[in-house]
Homo-oligomer: A and B are copies of this chain.
Amino acid sequence: MSSSQVGDRPSTAAEREGRVLDRIDEFRKRRPRLLESVVTLAHGAGGKSSAALVDSVFVESFRNPELEQLGDAAVLPLPSGERLAFSTDSYVVQPLRFPGGSIGNLAVHGTVNDLAVSGARPQWLSAAFVIEEGFEISALREIVADMRDSGQAAGIEIVTGDTKVVGKGAADGMYICTAGVGVIPAGRALSPDRVQPGDHVVVSGTIGEHGMAVMLARGELAIEADIASDTAPVNSLVEALLEAAPSTRWMRDATRGGVGTVCNELAQVSGLAVILDEQSLPVQPQVLGACDMLGIDPLYVANEGKFIAIVPSAESGAAIDALRGQPGGAQAAVIGEVMAEPEGIVALRTAFGGSRIVDMLVGDPLPRIC
C-alpha cells in the first residue's frame, strides 16, 4: 500500500503532529516526475504515475488553460456567454460484466459523473466502440441496452458514435470511449481555489464497492463476498446538494485512485491540508472485510457512483440532509475537514487516535477497474 503508517496506537496530539510534520518535505506539494521509459499499468491507475505521465507528456505538449486545470471536465466558453462542460473517458474494465453492472453502465455513468461534479447538467454523450473480432452480437446488444438504461436514468441522450473492429486477441472483447457535453447553469463556480480552511469534506455514500466488486468478479482471488459495484449516475445527487448548499466549493467523483487520490489532488492544487476521520468513513462491512484480507486500503479503491464535495461548515448539515433524501445518498457523511496545515498533505485520524499520511496512490493494486 502507498499510505505511510505513521501510528496506529494512541498518542498525544503533539506527537501525532510531529510525526506528520516530519513527513512534509517528503510529500510536499510537488507533482511527481516521469521516470520510466515505457508505459506501465501504473500509468493507467489514476495515481502518482498517471499524474506524472499526464503532466510530462500530454499537458506539456497540448498546453492550454482549459487542459491545465486538470479538472474532470473542460469548461468551454461559448460566444453567447453560455458555458459548457466537456469530458471524456475510455473504459477497459475486465471482466465486461460484474455484480452491479457492466462496461456499458460504467461508460455512461463515468462521463455523466465527470460532467456533474464540474457543476454541469449532463445532456449529450458520444459513444465510440472498439470491438474484438468474434465478439457475440448478443453480448454487444446487452451492453448497449445497459448504456441505454443508464442514459435514461441519467437523463442524457447518446447522440453520436463510432464503431471500429480489431483482430482477435486485441481489445479484450471491447473497449468503449464516451465523451459528454453538459450545460453549466449561470452563477456556478466550482474550483479548488475556493476551498478554505474549516470547510467540511462530504462523501455522497459508502466507498470501495466498485473496485472490490470488479476484483472479486475476476475469480482470481480465493475470496467470496456479496459486493456489488456502486455504478450509478450522481447528477441528481449533485443538483440536490448544490441547491441545499449553494456555497459548495468544489466536487470530484472518486473513481480510479479512490477518495484518497481525490483528496490528494485537492491538497496539492489548493496548498491546504485535508484531514480525514477514519471513523466517519462509510464503508460496507463486506467491503472492509475484503479490503482487509487483500491488504488494500478502501481509501484507494475506485467508486463509480460516489463523489467528494467540499462544503462550508455552515452548509454541511443541509448538504448531508439533501443527499440523504435522494436515492443513492442514504449513507452520505462528513468525513473530514480542510485545514491550513500541513500544507499539501492528506492525513487520516485513525480509529485508535493515531494519524497517518494518505499519500497519492503508487503502483496499481487494482488494475483495469474502469
Instruction: Give chain A's interface residues, CB within 8 Å of chain B.
Output: 34, 36-45, 50, 53-54, 57-58, 61-62, 64, 66-67, 71, 73-74, 76, 78-82, 84, 86-92, 123-124, 126-138, 140-141, 144-145, 147-148, 151, 157-167, 169-172, 175, 177, 179, 181, 183, 367-368
Contacts and interface: CB of A to CB of B under 8 A. Distances in A.
Q: Which of A53, A71, A126, A171 is packed against the most chain B CB atoms within 10 Å?
A: A126
B76 A126 contact: no
Contact of A124 (B42, B53, B61, B74): B74
Contacts of A50: 163
Interface secondary structure of A, over-half rule? mixed
Contacts of A42: 165
A193 to B, nearest CB: 19
A88 to B, nearest CB: 4
A87 B61 CA distance: 23
Given A74-B160, A76-B181, A159-B67, A134 B166 contact: no
A147 B131 CA distance: 24
A181 B163 CA distance: 19
A133 B183 contact: no
Contact of A82 (B37, B82, B367): B82
A40 B160 contact: no
Given A40-B133, A82-B80, A88 B166 contact: no
B166 A169 contact: no
Contacts of A44: 131, 163-166
B38 A136 contact: yes
Given A137-B38, A177-B128, A183-B78, A86 B169 contact: no
Contacts of A136: 37-39
Contacts of A135: 38-39
Nearest to A80: B80
A41 B82 contact: no
A148 B67 CA distance: 13
A40 B158 contact: no
B88 A161 contact: yes
A124 B86 contact: yes
Contact of A161 (B58, B91, B141, B165): B58
Nearest to A38: B134
Given A58-B163, A88-B128, A88-B177, 15 more contacts: A39-B131, A39-B132, A39-B140, A43-B163, A44-B166, A58-B127, A61-B144, A67-B160, A74-B124, A79-B183, A82-B82, A87-B126, A126-B179, A130-B177, A170-B170
A255 to B, nearest CB: 11
A302 to B, nearest CB: 13
Contacts of A123: 76
Contacts of A171: 170-171, 175
Given A128-B89, A160-B88, A175-B130, A148 B39 contact: no
A87 to B, nearest CB: 6
Contacts of A130: 90, 92, 130, 175, 177
A76 B122 CA distance: 12
